[in-house]
C-alpha cells in the first residue's frame, strides 16, 4: 500500500480526490480519524503537530527546590504524542505500507511535522521507503507534478524547526516560571515571558512611553480660498508650518487681493501597479478590510487547503518563472470576476510587477481556483476577492496621473495649490482596495488675477507618534527579524490573550508594562530584538547545514544562563516591583462612603467583588458576577459622576462584557428592587442614595436608628421601612432561587432565552418556586417550554419545593432523602398515608415516622393520627388479607384510607371508602359480603 500523509484532514481529502483521477475515493473512519482510499493508495491527515516537545518528568512542580526555573535551561526534553488517536492510526497504517509519502506543508514547520510523521512511521516499519512531495497549492496540476517528482525529506530544514521548538520551550518555560514565582503569581495569573513575545511587547511599551513623553508644539497654517468659474479652490502658504505666531499673523495681514497666478507647472506621474502579496503585505491589505492578523491568516489557510489560493505563508514577492500565469488567468475566467480577468488579459503589462524579496520556497500568494460567495461564505469570499484582484493588479499596466501645480502671489506672500487627474487608470480598474483620489483644477493662465474669498490662519499642534496597529506591528517585526511569517500574528494574539496589550491600535496594559520594565532593568537582553535575531540567523545556518542543531541550542543555553545570572541576583527587587505596581491595576478610585480605595478583589474559586481598602471599618462593597462570566479588570474610562474606573469582564473566546462604572451599574441594577419596598418613594430613594444606601439588603440589615438618622424618618416609619425591606429581600431571594432552578433544569437551547421565559412566567404570576410547584402545565407551555419538558420541570419543582418545606418543618435531611426515594415528597402525603405504610416504604422505624407525622400535622394545623398498637394493626391486617381476592396492595390502600381491620371494613360506606382508597365500590361490597360470611362460618365452627 502507498500511504500519503498530509498536514490536515481536509488536505488529505483533496489530495486523494486529485490523485484518484476518475476513480472513486472511499472514505473510512477509524478511531474517529478519516482515511481516503483509491486503488492501492490511502491518504491520512494529521492535525499539524501530533507530538509536542516537553521536559522529561520531574519538572512539573514549580516550587521544587531541586528543579529551579534555571534548571529548565539544561533539562532534557522528550516528545509526547498530543493526538494519540492519529498517532495510533498512522502507525497502524504504516505497518502495512510499502511506500510512505510525506505531503505536509512546504516550509520549516511543515518539514518538521513531516519529520515527526517520519519518525512515527520508522518506529514501526524500519525498511519502508519514505519520500516527500512538495507543493505550493493544492490544485490538480501542482499536486500531480509534486507526486511525480518526489524527493527526500529535508532533515536540515526540519532540524532548524526542532531547534526553534527547543529554544522557545526552554526560554518560555524558565523565564515564565522565574518571573511568576518572583511576583508570587500562579494558576490563571502567571506572567508569561517568551523569546519573540517579550521583545515585541517591549516595542509596544516603548511606543507608549514615546507618546507619553511627547510634548505637543504649536504651529500655525495659513491658507486662502479663491474662486474660478464659480468653483472654490483652496491654496496654502508655501511656508507650510509657521512656528512663530507673530510671523504667521504678519503674513496673514499682508495677504491682499488680487491673487495673481505666477506659475503653472504641468507634469505626469507614473503610479506603479502593486507588487505581489507576501504574508506581511497580505495581512496589511486584509487589515484595511477590517480583518485582524490572526483572522486573515486563518481564512487564507482555509482557502489554501480548499485549493482556492496558494500557500499563504511566504516571504516571496516575485513570481517564479515556473508559475504558469496564463494558466491561472484561464482558470479565473470561470470565476465571478470574469470581466476583470478579461480586462487584464486585454491590457496585460509585458512583465508582472515584482517586489524586493525573492525566495525559492513558495510563490507569492495568488489565486489557484474558482470560488463563489455561496460556496465559501462572505468573509472568505472577501479575502478571495482581495487575493484574486491583487493578482490581476500585478499583471495590469501602471496608472498615469496628470499633475498640476499652480503658484500664486498675494501682496508679496506666496501661495500654492496642486491638482491631479487620473488620465490612465491602469491597475486601478481591477483593484479597488487602493483609493485613487483625483483633485481636478480649472484651467489657469499666468498673470491671471483672482479674488480672495477668505484667509484663514489655523492654530494646530504637532501629534505624538501613532500606536501600532496589528498590521503595522507585523511589518515592524519583520524589519527587525522578530518571529517568522508563520508566527508573528500568533505572537500578537498571545500578547492580547495574556492581557499584556489591548485595543487596536495596540497599547500595553499596566501588567504588560510592569513586566517589560522589570525585565529591561534587570536583564535587558530578553526584551531586545538582538538575541532573537541572532537565533534566527542560527536557524538559517542550520537550514544550510552550516551548523548543527545541538550546537545552536548549546549557544542559546549559555545566553540564557547569562540572563539568569542577572535575574537571580535581583529576584527580590523584581518580584516586589511587579507586585507593588500591578496592585494598582485593580484600584478603581475612592470609596463613596469613606474615601478609602475601592478595588476589584478576586477570591479563591470564582468569587469576585469590589471592596473598600478600609474593610472591616467600611463594609461598602459591590457584587460582581462570578468569574465564569469573565475575569473583572478595570479599563481606562472613568465615570464623570463617580470618578471611578469602568469595569469589564473578559473571557477567553468571548466578547468582553462591559459593566461600565461599577457604582452606576450598582445603582441601576438595584433601582427596581428598591421601589418594591411599599413605603419607598422618589424622594426617599434620592435621600438613601445620597447617604450611600443603594440596596434593599442594606436597608433590611440596618439598625432602625441608623435609618432614622440617615433618612430623617420617625422611629415607627424607620422600623416599618426595615420590616418591609426584609420582606422584599426574602421575595428577591426566592425569585433568584427560582431563576437558578430554571437554569439548572431547562436544557440550554439555541434561540431560547431564559430571561424571556422567566419574564413570561412572572407575567402569569409565577415568580418563585412555590408558585412554580403549584403551577399549571399550560402556564409553562405558554411561556415557551415544551410539553414534556414542562411536565418534568413541574415534577422537579414540586420535589424541590416540598423538600424545602419538609426541611423547614423539621424533617432531618437524611430522613428526607429516604422519603423522596420512596416517592413521598408532599407534606399532604404524610397525612393521607398511614405511619405504618410510611415506615414500610422508607424502612424507618414506626417511632421515627410518627415523630415526623406529628411535625407535619402541626404545620398543616391538623390533628395527629391516634397511635394504634402494633398488635392491633397486625391482627386487623391479617384478617383483611384472609378475605379472598383482597391483596396486599388493596390492604395498603384501605389502610391509607383509615380502614385497618375487619370491623372497620364492615362499618365503612362502600362509596366513601371507594373515593378515599381508589378501589371500585362494587369490589368493596364484595369484600364486605365475603368477610361477613367468613365471620359467620367461624362462629358456627365454634
Task: Please give the positions annotated as active site.
Answer: 311
CA 928 – CA 908 distance, rounded (Å): 9
Counts of helices then strands in the chain (DSSP H, E): 37, 24
Q: Based on CB atoms, which residue is closest to Zn ion, 634 or 877? A: 634
With binding defined as CB under 5 A, does residue 638 bind Zn ion? no
Q: CB 611 → Zn ion: shortest distance, Å?
A: 8
CA 31 – CA 431 distance, rounded (Å): 48
CA 351 – CA 362 distance, rounded (Å): 19
With binding defined as CB under 5 A, does residue 89 bind Zn ion? no
Question: Applying CB under 5 A, which of residues 594, 710, 805, 822 lies at the interface with Zn ion?
Answer: 594
- Supply 494's cell numbers: 498571545
Instruction: List Cα–Cα distances, 621 to 45, 564, 606, 682, 915, in angstroms.
Output: 54, 43, 17, 24, 59
Return the range that interacts with Zn ion (CB under 5 A); candidates 42-50, 154-162, 271-279, 611-619: 611-619
Q: Based on CB atoms, which residue is closest to Zn ion, 618 or 684? A: 618
Q: Based on CB atoms, which residue is closest to Zn ion, 113 or 647? A: 647
Please say whether the beta carbons of 617 and 594 come within 8 A.
Answer: yes
- Binding footprint of Zn ion, residue count (CB under 5 A): 14
Helix, strand, coil content of the chain in percent (nearest 5): 50, 15, 35
CA 354 – CA 349 distance, rounded (Å): 12
Q: Based on CB atoms, which residue is closest to Zn ion, 88 or 639? A: 639
Question: Applying CB under 5 A, which of residues 173, 591, 624, 742 lies at the interface with Zn ion?
Answer: 591
Q: CB 659 → Zn ion: shortest distance, Å?
A: 11
Of 749, 561, 588, 734, nearest to 660 by C-alpha is 588
Of 205, 197, 203, nearest to 532 by C-alpha is 197
846 CB contacts (<8 Å, ≥6 apart)? Answer: 835, 836, 839, 870
With binding defined as CB under 5 A, does residue 618 bind Zn ion? yes
DSSP H helices in 132-243: 140-148, 155-182, 197-213
With binding defined as CB under 5 A, does residue 646 bind Zn ion? no
Q: CB 641 → Zn ion: shortest distance, Å?
A: 5
> Bridge partners of 608?
602
CA 838 – CA 848 distance, rounded (Å): 10
With binding defined as CB under 5 A, does residue 634 bind Zn ion? no
With binding defined as CB under 5 A, does residue 593 bind Zn ion? yes
Q: Based on CB atoms, which residue is closest to Zn ion, 366 or 642? A: 642
Please say whether the beta carbons of 580 and 587 come within 8 A.
Answer: no
Question: Applying CB under 5 A, which of residues 63, 641, 652, 655 lies at the interface with Zn ion?
Answer: 641
Q: CB 607 → Zn ion: shortest distance, Å?
A: 19
Q: Based on CB atoms, which residue is closest to Zn ion, 663 or 794? A: 663
Q: CB 756 → Zn ion: shortest distance, Å?
A: 29
With binding defined as CB under 5 A, does residue 722 bind Zn ion? no
Q: Is 80 helix (H, G, I), strand (E, B) or coil?
A: strand
Q: CB 599 → Zn ion: shortest distance, Å?
A: 11
Within 654-713, the residues that bind Zn ion by CB under 5 A are: 661, 663-664
Q: Based on CB atoms, which residue is closest to Zn ion, 488 or 666? A: 666
Residue 595 DSSP class: S
Q: Based on CB atoms, which residue is closest to Zn ion, 549 or 645? A: 645
Question: Applying CB under 5 A, which of residues 287, 612, 769, 844 lies at the interface with Zn ion?
Answer: 612
Return the range that interacts with Zn ion (CB under 5 A); candidates 144-152, 261-269, 429-437, 593-601: 593-601
Return the range that interacts with Zn ion (CB under 5 A); candidates 80-88, 202-210, 295-303, 596-604: 596-604
Question: Applying CB under 5 A, which of residues 20, 53, 441, 639 lies at the interface with Zn ion?
Answer: 639
Question: Applying CB under 5 A, which of residues 481, 596, 656, 704 lies at the interface with Zn ion?
Answer: 596
Cβ neighbour number for residue 36 with a 10 Å cutoff: 24
Q: Based on CB atoms, which residue is closest to Zn ion, 387 or 591? A: 591
With binding defined as CB under 5 A, does residue 620 bind Zn ion? yes
Helix (H) or strand (E) holding 508: strand 507-508
Q: CB 597 → Zn ion: shortest distance, Å?
A: 8
Q: CB 688 → Zn ion: shortest distance, Å?
A: 16
Cell 483672482 belongs to which residue? 450
Q: CB 623 → Zn ion: shortest distance, Å?
A: 15
Please say whether the beta carbons of 220 and 459 come within 8 A.
Answer: yes
Q: Is 258 helix (H, G, I), strand (E, B) or coil?
A: coil
- Supply 615's cell numbers: 474593610
Q: CB 580 → Zn ion: shortest distance, Å?
A: 22
Helix (H) or strand (E) holding 593: none
Q: Is 120 helix (H, G, I), strand (E, B) or coil?
A: helix
CA 753 – CA 750 distance, rounded (Å): 8
Phi/psi of residue 534, nearest 5 degrees = -55, -45
Cell 494529521 belongs to which residue? 46
Of 616, 623, 626, nearest to 695 by C-alpha is 623
Q: Based on CB atoms, which residue is closest to Zn ion, 228 or 701? A: 701
Question: Applying CB under 5 A, which of residues 362, 642, 645, 877 lies at the interface with Zn ion?
Answer: 642
CA 647 – CA 658 distance, rounded (Å): 7
Q: What does the binding site for Zn ion look like in residue numbers (CB under 5 A)?
A: 591, 593-594, 596, 612, 614, 618, 620, 639, 641-642, 661, 663-664
Amino acid at each position: 500500500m502507498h500511504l500519503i500523509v498530509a498536514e490536515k484532514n481536509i488536505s488529505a481529502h483533496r489530495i486523494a480526490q486529485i490523485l484518484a483521477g476518475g476513480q472513486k475515493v472511499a472514505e473510512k473512519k477509524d478511531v474517529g480519524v478519516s482515511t481516503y482510499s483509491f486503488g492501492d493508495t490511502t491518504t491520512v491527515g494529521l492535525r499539524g503537530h501530533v507530538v509536542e516537545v516537553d521536559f522529561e518528568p520531574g519538572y512539573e512542580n514549580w516550587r521544587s527546590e531541586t528543579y529551579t526555573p534555571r534548571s529548565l535551561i539544561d533539562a532534557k526534553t522528550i516528545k509526547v504524542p498530543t493526538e494519540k488517536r492519529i498517532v495510533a492510526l498512522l502507525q497502524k497504517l504504516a505497518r502495512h505500507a510499502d511506500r510512505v509519502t510525506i505531503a505536509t506543508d512546504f516550509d520549516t514547520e511543515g518539514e518538521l511535522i513531516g519529520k515527526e510523521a517520519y519518525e512515527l512511521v520508522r518506529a514501526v516499519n524500519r525498511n519502508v521507503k519514505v519520500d516527500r512531495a512538495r507543493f505550493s497549492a493544492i490544485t490538480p496540476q501542482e499536486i500531480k507534478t509534486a507526486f511525480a517528482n518526489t524527493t527526500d525529506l529535508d532533515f536540515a530544514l526540519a532540524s532548524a524547526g526542532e531547534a526553534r521548538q527547543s529554544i522557545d520551550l526552554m526560554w518560555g518555560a524558565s523565564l515564565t516560571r522565574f518571573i511568576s514565582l518572583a511576583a508570587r503569581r500562579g494558576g490563571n495569573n502567571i506572567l508569561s515571558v517568551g523569546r519573540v513575545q517579550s521583545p515585541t511587547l517591549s516595542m509596544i511599551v516603548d511606543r507608549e512611553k514615546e507618546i507619553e513623553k511627547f510634548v505637543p508644539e504649536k504651529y500655525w497654517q495659513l491658507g486662502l480660498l479663491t474662486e474660478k468659474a464659480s468653483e472654490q479652490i483652496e491654496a496654502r502658504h508655501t511656508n507650510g508650518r509657521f512656528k512663530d505666531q507673530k510671523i504667521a499673523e504678519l503674513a496673514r495681514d499682508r495677504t491682499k487681493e488680487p491673487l495673481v497666478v505666477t506659475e503653472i507647472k504641468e507634469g505626469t506621474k507614473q503610479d506603479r501597479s502593486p507588487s505581489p502579496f507576501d504574508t506581511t503585505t497580505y495581512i496589511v491589505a486584509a487589515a484595511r478590510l477590517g480583518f485582524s492578523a490572526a483572522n486573515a491568516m486563518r481564512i487564507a489557510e482555509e482557502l489554501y487547503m480548499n485549493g482556492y489560493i496558494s500557500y499563504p505563508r511566504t516571504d516571496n514577492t516575485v513570481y517564479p518563472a515556473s508559475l504558469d500565469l496564463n494558466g491561472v488567468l484561464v482558470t479565473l475566467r470561470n470565476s465571478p470576476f470574469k470581466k476583470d480577468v478579461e480586462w487584464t488579459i486585454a491590457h496585460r503589462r509585458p512583465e508582472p510587477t515584482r517586489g524586493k524579496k525573492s525566495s525559492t520556497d513558495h510563490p507569492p500568494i495568488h489565486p489557484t481556483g474558482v470560488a463563489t460567495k455561496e460556496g465559501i461564505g462572505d468573509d472568505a469570499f472577501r479575502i478571495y476577492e482581495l487575493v484574486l484582484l491583487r493578482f490581476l493588479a500585478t499583471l495590469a499596466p501602471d496608472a498615469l496621473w496628470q499633475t498640476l501645480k499652480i503658484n500664486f502671489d498675494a501682496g508679496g506672500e506666496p501661495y500654492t495649490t496642486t491638482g491631479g487627474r487620473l488620465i490612465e487608470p491602469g491597475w486601478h480598474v481591477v483593484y479597488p482596495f487602493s483609493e485613487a483620489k483625483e483633485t481636478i483644477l480649472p484651467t489657469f493662465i499666468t498673470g491671471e488675477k483672482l479674488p480672495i474669498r477668505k484667509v484663514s490662519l489655523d492654530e494646530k499642534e504637532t501629534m505624538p507618534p501613532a500606536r501600532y496597529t496589528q498590521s503595522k506591528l507585523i511589518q515592524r517585526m519583520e524589519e527587525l527579524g522578530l518571529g517568522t511569517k508563520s508566527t508573528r500574528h500568533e505572537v500578537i494574539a498571545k500578547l492580547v490573550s495574556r492581557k499584556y496589550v489591548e485595543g487596536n491600535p495596540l497599547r500595553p496594559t499596566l501588567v504588560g508594562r510592569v513586566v517589560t520594565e522589570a525585565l529591561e532593568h534587570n536583564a535587558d537582553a530578553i526584551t531586545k530584538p538582538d538575541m532573537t535575531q541572532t537565533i534566527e540567523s542560527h536557524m538559517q545556518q542550520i537550514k544550510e547545514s552550516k551548523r548543527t542543531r545541538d550546537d545552536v541550542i548549546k549557544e542559546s543555553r549559555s545566553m540564557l544562563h547569562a540572563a539568569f545570572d542577572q535575574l537571580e541576583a535581583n529576584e527580590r527587587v523584581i518580584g516586589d516591583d511587579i507586585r507593588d505596581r500591578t496592585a494598582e491595576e485593580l484600584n478603581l478610585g475612592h470609596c463613596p462612603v469613606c474615601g478609602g480605595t475601592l478595588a476589584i478583589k478576586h477570591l479563591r474559586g470564582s468569587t469576585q467583588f469590589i471592596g473598600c481598602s478600609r474593610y472591616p471599618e467600611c463594609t461598602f462593597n459591590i457584587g460582581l458576577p462570578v468569574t465564569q462570566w469573565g475575569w473583572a479588570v478595570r479599563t481606562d474610562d472613568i465615570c464623570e459622576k463617580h470618578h471611578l474606573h469602568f469595569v469589564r469582564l473578559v473571557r477567553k473566546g468571548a466578547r468582553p462584557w462591559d459593566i461600565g462604572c461599577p457604582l452606576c451599574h450598582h445603582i441601576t441594577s438595584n433601582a427596581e428592587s428598591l421601589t418594591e419596598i411599599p413605603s419607598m418613594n422618589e424622594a426617599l430613594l434620592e435621600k438613601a442614595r445620597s447617604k450611600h444606601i443603594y440596596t434593599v439588603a442594606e436597608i433590611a440589615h440596618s439598625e432602625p436608628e441608623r435609618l432614622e438618622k440617615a433618612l430623617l424618618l420617625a422611629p415607627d416609619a424607620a422600623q416599618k421601612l426595615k420590616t418591609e425591606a426584609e420582606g422584599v429581600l426574602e421575595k428577591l431571594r426566592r425569585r433568584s432561587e427560582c431563576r437558578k432552578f430554571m437554569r439548572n433544569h431547562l436544557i440550554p437551547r439555541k434561540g431560547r432565552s431564559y430571561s424571556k421565559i422567566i419574564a413570561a412566567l412572572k407575567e402569569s404570576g409565577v415568580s418563585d418556586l412555590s408558585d412554580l410547584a403549584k403551577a399549571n402545565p399550560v402556564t409553562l407551555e405558554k411561556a415557551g417550554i415544551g410539553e414534556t419538558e414542562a411536565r418534568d420541570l413541574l415534577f422537579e419543582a414540586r420535589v424541590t419545593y416540598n423538600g424545602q418545606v419538609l426541611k423547614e418543618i423539621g424533617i432531618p435531611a437524611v430522613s428526607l432523602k429516604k422519603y423522596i426515594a420512596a416517592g413521598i415528597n408532599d407534606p399532604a402525603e404524610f397525612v393521607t398515608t398511614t405511619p405504618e405504610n410510611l415506615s414500610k416504604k422508607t424502612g424507618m422505624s414506626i417511632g421515627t415516622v410518627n415523630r415526623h407525622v406529628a411535625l407535619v400535622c402541626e404545620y398543616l394545623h391538623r390533628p395527629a393520627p391516634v397511635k394504634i398498637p402494633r398488635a392491633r394493626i397486625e391482627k386487623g391486617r391479617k384478617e383483611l388479607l384472609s378475605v379472598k381476592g383482597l391483596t396486599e396492595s388493596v390492604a395498603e390502600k384501605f389502610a391509607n384510607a383509615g380502614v385497618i381491620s375487619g370491623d372497620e371494613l364492615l362499618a365503612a360506606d362502600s362509596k366513601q371508602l371507594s373515593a378515599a382508597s381508589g378501589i371500585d365500590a362494587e369490589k368493596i361490597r364484595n369484600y364486605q359480603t365475603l368477610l361477613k360470611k367468613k365471620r359467620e362460618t367461624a362462629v358456627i365452627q365454634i
